[in-house]
Structure 1
Amino acid sequence: MKTKILIASAILVLYSCQNKDKTESKNIIKTIAEDTLSKTVAGTADVSEATPKDDKAVELIRKQLNVLLEKDLPAMTKNDRFFYYEAFDLNNDKKNEYFIGFSNSYFCGSGGCSGFILNNDGSVINRFSVTDFPILVTASVSEKFYDLVFETGGKFHLLKMKNGKYPSNPSVQEVWRGENPKESTSVLDINEKKLEKYSF
């Protein structure tokens, strides 16, 4: 009888030790995850070493930005060299165009931020300035491309494709009358969609 009690006690001790190790392991993992999450939300996480997403679009955009911003690169800090992008088929040709935006002091000022719209092959449709994100894609079309609505200075402006380009300065375009177009799609919603940030 004493032998059975000793064996049962030994098993109970071993089991409780194993559970303690598992609990400590879970707590360490939980602490690391919570720390990373809080730093990400606060914007203090170091994403410079993050593994880039294996994506042909990212590589295409990265390559093009290094060409388009060649003269700017020497003046930029490491923290300035990040972009966000979102793909959208603007002309229903089954190929996505790319909206590229920035959210740092090099590309943004009191009037808003600048960015690019690129074709699927990386060629520039246009460079834009003084805009607040997101950009709205409407259901109306000009020259086979959807019209866009940019917010700048607290007002919405309608941008239509003309001679293969959208206007580069939204603030001087026609003011959109009324509320946001209900049928529009939001792109480059950098704050709400929590878009991934890429280096270039």
Structure 2
Amino acid sequence: MKNKILILVAILALSSCQNKDNSKNIVKTIVQDTLSKTLGGTADLSEVSEKNNKQVELIKKQLLVLLKKDLPAMTKEDRSFYYEAFDLNNDKKDEYFVGFSNSYFCGSGGCSGYILNNDGSVINRFSVTDFPILVTTDSSEKFYNLLMKSGGAFHLMKMKNGKYPSNPSVQEKWKGEVPKETTSVLDIQGKQLEKYSF
């Protein structure tokens, strides 16, 4: 009888230890989930949405001006865009990468898009680009160099006379591995960026 009681006590002790480990795992999982959402930018931050709304409205207004001649030929689906903010010149003000993923702006060579200043003015229009765009840590004229994929290869895009080249496919091909220090922007499929209408 003593042996049966000792076995029962041992089983209870082991199961209570396992329950403690499970509660630690649950807490650990919640903490990791919260951290990943915060670091990944998917946490619900009400202040950010107000800033994003101002950025979206600025981009919408600019697209309506830039594409004024195209609007009559565009369908409702064509009139949508994705964007991502990034400070390209370390002036503490974001520039905006604006991209499209529909048949009006995309063809077999890639898609078109814009890089806008924080005031909405155009830095660049680009074509035949596959997303995402990679921002390197090297710079030219105080703006980070970009790697844009076109025709299955990355091409180096350097700022020259205040503009990046508009057609990546005719620029110097990037040789070797993509540097680990690059930042990916306009990863339309991977980051599941929000789509906006204009």
Smaller-chain TM-score range?
A: 0.7 to 0.9
- The aligned counterpart of 1:164 is 162
> How far 1:182 moved relative to its partner?
1.2
- How far apart, in 2, do the equivalents of 1:110 and 1:124 lie? 25
**Structure 1 partner of 2:136:** 138
Amino acid aligned to 2:183: T
Counterpart-to-counterpart distance in 1, 2:130 and 2:179: 16
Rounded to whole Å, the distance in 2 between the matches of 1:192 and 1:96 is: 21
TM-score under structure 1 length normalisation: 0.73
Which residue of structure 1 lines up, in the alignment, with residue 101 of structure 2?
103
- In structure 2, the residue matched to 1:41 is none
Structure-2 residue corresponding to 1:114: 112
Cα distance in 1 between the residues matched to 2:179 and 2:150:
16
Runs (4+) of structure 1 moved beyond 3 Å?
A: none
Q: What residue in structure 1 maps to residue 196 of structure 2?
A: 198
Map of 2:127 onto structure 1: 129
Equivalent position of 2:81 in the other structure:
83
**1:187 matches 2:185:** yes
Structure 1 position 109, deviation (Å): 0.1
2:154 counterpart letter in structure 1: F
CA distance in 2, matches of 1:72, 1:86: 23
1:59 is displaced (CA, Å) by 0.3
Q: TM-score, normalised by structure 2?
A: 0.74
Aligned-residue offset at 1:181: 1.7
| Seq. identity, % | 80
For 2:91, which of 81, 90, 93 is the aligned residue?
A: 93
Q: Provide the rounded CA distance (Å) in 1 between the counterparts of 2:97 and 2:62.
A: 13
Instruction: Give the distance between the partners of 2:142 and 2:165, measured in 1 at CA.
Output: 16
> Counterpart of 2:114 in structure 1: which amino acid?
F
For residue 191 of structure 1, give the secondary structure of its aligned residue in structure 2: coil
User: What 5-or-longer segments of structure 1 have no aligned partner?
Assistant: 1-52
Question: Aligned equivalents of 2:174 and 2:88: distance in 1?
Answer: 20
Q: Which runs of 5+ in 2 are unaligned?
A: 1-48
Give the Å deviation of 1:98: 0.1
User: What displacement does 1:176 show?
Assistant: 0.3
Partner of 1:37: none
Matching residue within 144, 147, 156 for 2:145: 147
Name the counterpart of 2:72: 74
2:84, 2:160 → 1: CA distance? 22
How far does residue 193 in structure 1 lie from its aligned partner after superposition? 0.1
By how many angstroms is 1:145 displaced? 0.2
1:159 shift after superposition: 0.2
In the other structure, the counterpart of 1:16 is none
1:180 deviation in Å? 1.4
Q: For the residues of structure 1 that align with 2:151 and 2:180, how far apart are their CA atoms? A: 21
Please give the per-residue CA displacement for 1:136-189, whole angstroms capped at 9, x wherever unaligned.
000001000000000000010000000000000000001000111211000000
